[in-house]
Amino acid sequence: MYSYIDGFFVYLLTEKNASPHTIKGYENDLYNGLTFFTRIIGIEDYRLHPAQVTKEIFRSYLGDMHAQQKSGATIARRMSSWRSFFKYLCREGVLEDNPLARISIPKRVRKLPSFLDQTEMGRLLACPERQKLLGARDQAVLETLYSTGIRVSELVRIDIDDIDLSRGSIKIIAKGNRERLVPMGSYAVEVIRNYMQRVRPLLMDGEKGRQSALFLNNQGRRLTDRGVRWLVQRYVQQLNLQTKASPHTFRHSYATHLLDNGADLRSVQELLGHARLSTTQIYTHLSKERIKRIYDQCHPRA
């Protein structure tokens, strides 16, 4: 089974342009199921052949996850990973039939994403001390996240050559290595220019001077996902905000504020880089929830 799973990962990487995070997710899901299958079948995992994993065994796996009170989202994700894996095996001629083809997988319950209102976002963006070296860097990071709505994984991949301050745009390498051009506002342009001219050169020296990354840590290396999450969390705690906020909260807030201020859904889809409009539509539900809450709070007969 291991060799087939490794082949699947190569297929995801080379043919589907899957990100390392996506492949890691598949790895966790497949090995979780593999542990259950080998226990039920009573065979060493390295000797297990995919043909031995029948739809009856998958039904037992479903029952086991329900017994462990796994969330619907977890169950749906794991079963979806196995369905994709077996579809790949059928494509490669290893199996004739996909045992998951006729098993209904529970639908994922999509939770409404949390976001900051415009006042909270303004306070958060004003938090870094711009006169300090890392404060100016942090302000540029936060303004970029909010001004563009990009993912943290996209932010840390930005290189100097991807920025066009005169046009107010950034070239983004999105999921699947797809490129898109994202506009940014005048506030972001100003703080990025300040960071690039005054701060970034001081974070680099010697060998580090060849670093192509836009955002650097205090050692002159490319800022990481973890580093961005840490700095966002630090400012959220500093403000004692009631809403739990992460770098992705900036993306949710960006989309919600655009829709609240009259942007159409197709434009927001394009700006976010969503392949499907259905992914963007969750933000319309978010705006409706907000409108309903305002109505309940403000109408005398609500």
Positions marked active-site? 151, 175, 248, 251, 274, 283
Cα 152 from Cα 130, distance rounded (Å): 21
- Per the CB < 8 A criterion, the answer to whether 144 and 168 are in contact is no
- Token pair 């005169």 is found at 166
Strands across the sheet with 179-183, in order? Answer: 163-164, 169-173, 179-183
**Residue 125's closest CA among 257, 259, 33?**
257
Cα 14 from Cα 11, distance rounded (Å): 5
Q: 115-148 burial, b if ≥16 CB within 10 A, otherwise e?
A: bbeeebbeebbebbebeeeeebbbbbbbbbbbbb
Cα 226 from Cα 241, distance rounded (Å): 20
Give Rg (Cα) of the chain.
Answer: 23
**Interior angle at CA 180, CA 149 and CA 123, nearest 5:** 15
Amino acid at 93: G
Cα 22 from Cα 26, distance rounded (Å): 6
Amino acid at 78: R
* Per-residue CA distances from 101 to 64, 85, 98 (Å): 20, 12, 5
Q: Which residues pair with 173 in a beta bridge?
A: 179
